[in-house]
Amino acid sequence: MVKKVAKDTIKEWLADFSSRGILYGPISGEDRWGKITELNKMGNSFTTVMSPKEIFLPQDQSMFSLNIKDKTNDVSDNTTKLTDRAVLWGMRPCDAKALSLIHRVFNENDYHDTYFNALWESFIKIAIGCTEHLNTCFCTSFEDGSPFGIEGADILATEAEEYWILESITETGDNLVIDFEDATIDEIDEITEIKSKVIESIDNKVPVNIKDKLWNNFDNEAFWAHIGDRCISCGICTFVCPSCYCFDINDEIIDKFARRYRTWDACQFKNFTLEASGHNPRQTQLHRIRQRMMHKLSFFAKKYEDIQLCVGCGRCIRECPVNIDIRQVAMEAEHLTKI
């Protein structure tokens, strides 16, 4: 289903969701994602530092809580589920694809992450096609990467000069846009032309198919030391990354209320692999940065049909305080002699 919607109508549509308290997106001036209470508070998802991951996997998420005051064992399940299905506007296609990868990992075999799934199912996800891009974007280097990709979204919205084109991808998307006017052949052609121009202009030369090359150079200390020596272990790259999903679980008691909660964790932190015995299998930053790069471009691809755990959003490149650039690492890895 492909619909054409006037720009003013889109604004009214989103304003209606907002007035009903069910509109989410990038919050202007906050570099974060959350509820949009007024439409003029909708930010630009293109430049938001954090990814929409925090909507589905919050940085701090209660798993269950317990009132121990009266010793009643009153355990409440904190599976977050919105009562009215909400609309998430503004995810970029790379972010939507990254979240679909997390969804896959969190629903593997018999494991189903009820906390993630409850939030995932609570949202109708509208991705925005990228009619512009940053010089750190490299989504098209990946086999199925595109600034107009549809994986993980219910609707893809693409902006033309005078209107938006809404392409519904799922039945949920169909139901949301069904009342809008169908796009004409000419309007679909105009959007196709816009898409082609953007796709051609994005860097598609990053050699991301290097799973075996990295695998065979796991012990190449010189190669990894050259990156690890610069890394300061801040973890920013993992926190801004839309496809990093590691978390830690802790319990706390405050004023006789107890809760179990999970928080984002990062393979770049020294304590991430610290064992109770005191032994740490990843003792230096060389080991930790190697783990991140290997997971992104080798381990995941070996496990999941050559799909990388990187979508080319470029956030880690933009935010790393010491300019470690995953594109550069891939290019240097490609020239290692051990194949």
List residues binding ligand SF4 (CB under 6 A).
98, 231-237, 240-243, 268, 289, 296, 310-316, 320-322, 324, 326
* Min dist. Cβ of residue 230 to ligand SF4 (A): 7
- Comparing CB distances to ligand SF4, the nearer of 26 and 173 is 26
Of the two residues 234 and 258, which places its CB atom closer to ligand SF4 in the complex?
A: 234
The CB-of-132 to ligand SF4 minimum distance in angstroms stands at 18
| CB nearer to ligand SF4: pick between 157 and 313 | 313
**Based on CB atoms, which residue is closest to ligand SF4, 90 or 312?**
312
Backbone angles phi, psi at 17, to 5 degrees: -60, -40
Provide the minimum distance between the beta carbon of 315 and ligand SF4 in the complex, in angstroms, as a whole number. 4
To the nearest whole angstrom, how small is the minimum distance from the Cβ of residue 19 to ligand SF4? 34
CB of 322 to ligand SF4, least distance (A): 5
Strand order in the sheet with 181-182: 32-35, 23-27, 86-91, 123-128, 155-159, 163-168, 2-6, 181-182
For 78-129, the three-class secondary structure string (H helix, E strand, C coil) is: CCCCCCCCEEEEEECHHHHHHHHHHHHHCCCCCCCCHHHHHHHHHEEEEEEC
Specify the DSSP element, H or E, that contains 328: helix 326-334
Among residues 142 and 180, whose Cβ is nearest to ligand SF4?
A: 142
Contact (CB, 8 A) for 177 and 168: yes
210 CB-contact burial (10 Å; exposed 0-12 / middle 13-18 / buried 19+) = buried
